[in-house]
Amino acid sequence: MSGYVHPVDVAVVGATGLVGRMMLRVLEERPFPVRRLLAFASERSGGTELTFQGKKLQVRTLTEAALAGCGAAVALFSAGASVSRTFAPVAARAGITVIDNSSAFRMDPDVPLVVPEVNPDEAFRSNGIIANPNCSTIQMVVALKRLHDRYRIRRIVVATYQSVTGAGARGLRQLEDEVSGKTVSGGKFPHPIAYNCLPQVDDFMEDGFTREEHKMMDETKKIFGDDAIRVNATCVRVPVRGGHSEAVTVEFEEAFDEQEARRLLKNTPGVVVVDEPKERRYPMAIDAEGRDEVFVGRIRRDPTVGSGLSLWIVSDNLRKGAATNAVQIAELLLKSPSKAQKMVHEGTRSATKEIL
Ligand SMILES: NC(=O)c1ccc[n+]([C@@H]2O[C@H](COP(=O)([O-])OP(=O)(O)OC[C@H]3O[C@@H](n4cnc5c(N)ncnc54)[C@H](OP(=O)(O)O)[C@@H]3O)[C@@H](O)[C@H]2O)c1
């Protein structure tokens, strides 16, 4: 547990979901200082069991009192936006630092939107709630960070190829049922997903873009702290189990050197360059699944504009796109002695209040 001052109690809200289960796995894999893990889910799962660090873990039904009194220093939320809107402020008021995977608070100016490789300092200006960006946004900004620092990105055009696990357990079930020939009624997606591509991720808005596309367009500006970046996104659901892929073209303010751009990508924290097209080596979702890095390949100059670069970016949406990023944010805070001290003190205070 090097670098940590305090072991802490950690609450996972939505622990039975795809992201929640991945959070437990990521917490087990990393040298994260978990003293006690508290798993919360809906009434449907209350009393069921998960496994953490080889031991059985009872799932608790999420209620305001149970959460506020649980004594955790940090709560990782992944139970959807409406649950976060209700329960994240309850936890924050009880002194529990919330790291929220939903879209509920991402564009709130008072809530930092954090990707540790890109804007780690933002995590320290939170008032109790920190937002984890959308999975498609995270992998794109990790890949583009150093290029943006060096050449100033002015425009991004991105098309995504998003896996079904990005839509939670019901999305995965629909694909598996369709592939195995089962009749699917009341599926997660509005059309069959097996052997198909759906140019719709989340609901449509007045301007013809979907909410998912707006998340990429808006969150990118907030994370880079640069309102001048224009982003045009088309988000597509594809019949892939895990791992989102993205075809990205960026236009820079400044002229760039392709070899230097490759070097910058190779030296970008969290990025692995896989780009040997003649050997047919490029990032693929099946290779990214189970990994924490963001993979970048198909790097080439865009010949249609003055200073543009095209890339193919792939990452595991449940890991770097959700669980790993959230755990990394908690690690940042807990490695700061003064912040960790405060978090432990306030979490303990919440438990004491419940007992009294
Ligand atoms: N999947 C991804 O790649 C991804 C990436 C980034 C962010 N996210 C975000 O993470 C969140 C969870 O996604 P997921 O893919 O894990 O979905 P999921 O597999 O459908 O899991 C949803 C979880 O939320 C819990 N839940 C639902 N309603 C609840 C309630 N009223 N009270 C307490 N718990 C409740 C469920 O508990 P039960 O088992 O009891 O129903 C389950 O644990 C969403 O906000 C999503 O937007 C997902």
- pLDDT digits 0-9 by tens, 311-331: 999 999 999 999 999 999 999
Residue 280 and residue 148 in one domain: yes
What is the CATH number for 310?
3.30.360.10
Residue 152 and residue 218 in one domain: yes
Average pLDDT over residues 239-262: 98
Asked whether residue 2 is assigned to any structural domain, the reply reads no
Distance 180 CA to ligand 1 centre (A): 25
Q: Is the CB of 17 under 6 A from ligand 1?
A: yes
Q: Is the CB of 79 under 6 A from ligand 1?
A: yes
Rg (CA), the chain: 20
Predicted TM-score (pTM) of the model is 0.96
Q: Is the CB of 46 under 6 A from ligand 1?
A: no
Pick from 297, 215, 213, 309: nearest CA to 253: 309
Average pLDDT value for the chain: 95
Asked whether residue 114 is assigned to any structural domain, the reply reads yes
Residue 173 and residue 274 in one domain: yes
Asked whether residue 208 is assigned to any structural domain, the reply reads yes
What is the position in ligand 1's atom list of the atom closest to the CA of 318?
Answer: 3
Q: Is the CB of 16 under 6 A from ligand 1?
A: yes
Sheet holding 129-131, edge to edge: 49-52, 55-61, 34-41, 8-13, 74-77, 97-100, 129-131
Distance 263 CA to ligand 1 centre (A): 38
Average pLDDT over residues 234-257: 98
Residue 120 and residue 151 in one domain: no
Cα–Cα distance measured from residue 132 to residue 130, given in angstroms and rounded to the nearest whole number: 7
Residue 142 and residue 116 in one domain: no
Residues taking part in catalysis: 135, 244
Asked whether residue 1 is assigned to any structural domain, the reply reads no
Residue 120 and residue 152 in one domain: no
Residue 159 and residue 298 in one domain: yes
152-169 burial string, b = 16+ CB within 10 Å, else e? ebbbbbbebbbbbbbbbb
Average pLDDT over residues 147-173: 98
Q: What is the DSSP letter of 112?
A: -
| The amino acid at 254 | E
Residue 71 and residue 113 in one domain: yes
Residue recorded with tokens 């702290």: 225
In 3-state terms, what secondary structure has residue 176?
Answer: helix
Number of domains present in the structure of the chain: 2
Residue 206 and residue 67 in one domain: no
Asked whether residue 229 is assigned to any structural domain, the reply reads yes
Pick from 216, 215, 170, 213: nearest CA to 193: 170
Tens-place pLDDT, residues 37-48:
999 999 999 989
Distance 328 CA to ligand 1 centre (A): 19
Domain range for 252: 136-317
Residue 254 and residue 149 in one domain: yes
Q: Is the CB of 20 under 6 A from ligand 1?
A: yes
Residue of the CA atom closest to atom 45 of ligand 1: 80
